[in-house]
Amino acid sequence: MRQVTKGLLAPVVLASVFTFSCTDDEEPIIAQEGVEKANLVFTEIEGDDHLSAHGDHFHGLDEGTEGESFVVEFDADGHAVSGGHLHLHADGIYKMELQAWDYEGNRVEEDFIKDKATADLYKAFLVGGDLVLNPDTEDETGAIFQPREKEYADGTAVDGKYETTGVLSYFTIGEANEGETKAVDFVLRKFNDAATKSLVERVDWNAEDYAERFAGEDVLTLEFEIHAEHEEGHEEEGHDH
């Protein structure tokens, strides 16, 4: 029995040595993490007088109808490679949808909101531009950015404004921001503590000190420009400059 055992072990040992030697000679393949490219899709919402800006949010969104969509495309560094200079109706209300892809070509934006426990770590901000915010106006002519998911990716309901993330949002630049081009960043921030999300109010979306107030890291920063125009017959569009 001992001789048979030795005879069986010898090829096994040799095979193991050969296998490990081959493995050691090969370079390990390390998958690149993060977002390789992203889009922001803007769709103007049309409706009757019930569709309007009110303070820090909108009224009548559910009764509105969607117009034509256009896309801003970004590279892995968050720089706009197409459509990065937007001309928007100053008083237009736009649905903003984040689309993101990993380095294997998979759509990953829903990974940030796959369930409540995950989404509690994330919140979108739209910072920069020196914008006049709507609550700071007396005639509802300022900017509003309102994250507004209704469901997590697992199908469970999002309960109220503190649970929304901003993968789906609604935005208006407002007539108070007409004139000069506004350079803004769409930022998706991951908090160090899930409890932080409930501290973010609707008026905080453009806060210059958001990083100091809400501890965490920016996992996505998309840079683009907005030019607000109030012009009859003007159609919104993106430009590459």
Task: For residue range 177-206, list pLDDT tens digits in order.
Answer: 999 999 999 999 999 999 999 999 999 999
DSSP calls for 227-241 = EEE--TT---EEE--
Q: 3-state SS of the chain: helix, strand, coil percent to 5?
A: 25, 40, 40
pLDDT value, residue 32: 72
The whole-number pLDDT of residue 220 equals 98
Q: Looking at the predicted structure, is the pLDDT value of residue 18 above 50?
A: no
Instruction: Report pLDDT for 25.
Output: 58
Query: What are the residues whose beta carbons fall under 8 Å from the beta carbon of 123, sequence distance 6 or more?
Result: 147, 165, 166, 188, 189, 191, 197, 200, 214
CB 174 within 8 A of CB 91: yes
- Note the pLDDT of residue 15: 44
- What per-residue confidence (pLDDT) applies to 234? 42
192 three-state secondary structure: coil
Domain-embedded: residue 207: yes
Residue 14, domain member (yes or no): no
- Parent domain of 124: 37-239
6 belongs to a structural domain: no
**pLDDT at residue number 230:** 79
The answer as to whether 15 is a domain residue is: no
Number of domains in the chain: 1
- Distance between CA 89 and CA 51 in Å, rounded? 15
Q: Are the beta carbons of 192 and 121 closer than 8 angstroms?
A: no
Residue 8 located in a structural domain: no
Closest CA to 109 of 37, 46, 178: 37
The residues, any chain, with a CB within 8 Å of residue 164's CB and separated by 6 or more, are: 146, 147, 148, 149, 158
Is 115 within 8 Å of 152 (Cβ atoms)? yes
Quick check: is 3 in a domain? Answer: no
**What is the distance between the alpha carbons of residues 141 and 114, in angstroms, rounded to a whole number?**
35
pLDDT of residue 5: 41
Residue 60 inside a domain? The answer is yes
Q: Is the pLDDT of residue 162 over 90?
A: yes
92 belongs to a structural domain: yes
